[in-house]
Amino acid sequence: MIGGILLGLGYILAGFLGQSFITQIIFIGIIGGAGIGFAYVCPISVGMKWFPDKKGLITGLAVAGFGFGALIWVKLGDNWGHLLENFGVLRVFLIYGIVFAVAVLVGSIWMVNPPEGWKPAGWNPPQPKKGKSASKVDFSASDMLRTPQFYGLWIMFVFSGMAGLMTIGIIKLFGIEALQGRGGYDAQQASAIAGTAMAVFYSLANGIGRIVWGTLSDKIGRKISLFLMCLIQGVMMLLFYTMGANQYLLYLGAALIGFNFGGNFALFPTATADFFGTKNVGQNYPWVFTAYGIGGIIGPIMAGSIRDIVGGWLPAFIISGVACLIAAGIAISLKPPKELASATK
């Protein structure tokens, strides 16, 4: 409820007072952003507790809404609903603020934890092997921060998040330059193709990837899923510079990178619950999620700085690709904390 109020209030205030850059930073960025921060982890935490047998699927479904929202609300403002054209930016902020506040407040009604000891019919939690201690199945945040597994997950998330956020930050400009400079397209064609790659293929695949990777991880395990996601993302980042000069390869690359980027939001919360327990995932996952903010600062700024210095995007894609391959190596080497090793096999 607090998250919905803050998110809606930020946009509503921006609608009335957002005429300057600094006021938009305060209202949209700080107040609205704080609202997202309050609310984001709640469906993930509550969903895992109601569906401990399908943690990947339920987390993927929860965060898919966040991914699809990046497409839906932007396109409603643009060529789906023409809201920006008909009402102007500030009035759209006001409309969205009211809608966001109402929607999140209504959704908050169902964000309640199950009764103590609740479990799905026919499902029993994994039992520790004989002779193995599982006395500390649920880590507190302070205990989690003392484990190497936390820092392994955190570094992986920084690297994987950095690659995806870098791509979404530069894909329009990169696509235009690649299509014009190496693909032979004119400026209008290049802009339309790059815009489609960003808005449709990247954003749509981002939402789908959250569901698919979450569901897949329930079947093959979080460790293998994280390894495959980071490995494929690393390969795609190394290939994407070349793919960008062709319309259909640009679409394919944007879709695959967006698909893997979406997987972060299904796999890292569930891996946090697997390693450190479901009970405190609402307190533990935000610490892991700080990696997303770091990646969001490093990736786009790094790419933009390299573009300004060397006049091209290739080094940024190479750096991000290598970082994702390192993340894949970390993923395959991670083991549950000793206290949980027997309970999570």
**173 and 82 assigned to the same domain:** no
Evaluate whether residue 118 is within a structural domain: no
**237 and 169 assigned to the same domain:** yes
Query: 137 falls in which pLDDT band (50, 70, 90)?
Result: confident
How far, rounded to the nearest angstrom, does the alpha carbon of residue 281 sit from its chain's CA centroid?
Answer: 17
C-alpha to C-alpha distances, 184 to 180, 245, 333, nearest whole angstrom: 5, 8, 45
Evaluate whether residue 232 is within a structural domain: yes
Q: How many CB atoms lie within 10 A of CB 50?
A: 15
pLDDT the model gives residue 65: 86
Burial of 228: CB neighbours in 10 Å, binned 0-12, 13-18, 19+: buried
- Percent of the chain residues topping a pLDDT of 90: 73
Evaluate whether residue 116 is within a structural domain: no
- Select the more confidently predicted residue: 232 or 63: 232
pLDDT the model gives residue 128: 53
- Select the more confidently predicted residue: 302 or 124: 302
pLDDT the model gives residue 158: 97
For Cα atoms 111, 114, 117, give the angle at the middle one, nearest 5 degrees. 160
**Residues 325, 232: Cα–Cα separation, whole Å:** 8
Query: 157 falls in which pLDDT band (50, 70, 90)?
Result: very high
Average pLDDT over residues 69-73: 82
Query: 122 falls in which pLDDT band (50, 70, 90)?
Result: confident
CB contact set of 327 (below 8 Å; sequence gap of 6+): 155, 156, 159, 160, 230, 234
User: Residue 248 pLDDT > 90, yes or no?
Assistant: yes
Q: What is the mean pLDDT of the chain?
A: 90
Evaluate whether residue 131 is within a structural domain: no
Domain stop point among 60, 84, 108:
108
**81 and 150 assigned to the same domain:** no
**152 and 104 assigned to the same domain:** no
**147 and 287 assigned to the same domain:** yes
What is the tally of structural domains in the chain?
2
Query: 74 falls in which pLDDT band (50, 70, 90)?
Result: confident
Evaluate whether residue 323 is within a structural domain: yes
Average pLDDT over residues 232-238: 97
**158 and 45 assigned to the same domain:** no
**Residues 233, 55: Cα–Cα separation, whole Å:** 23
**69 and 206 assigned to the same domain:** no
* C-alpha gyration radius of the chain: 21
User: Residue 280 pLDDT > 80, yes or no?
Assistant: yes
pLDDT in tens, 215-226: 999 999 999 999
**86 and 186 assigned to the same domain:** no
Q: Which domain holds residue 87?
A: 2-108
For residues 179 and 194, is the Cβ–Cβ distance under 8 A? yes
List the CATH number of the domain containing 278.
1.20.1250.20
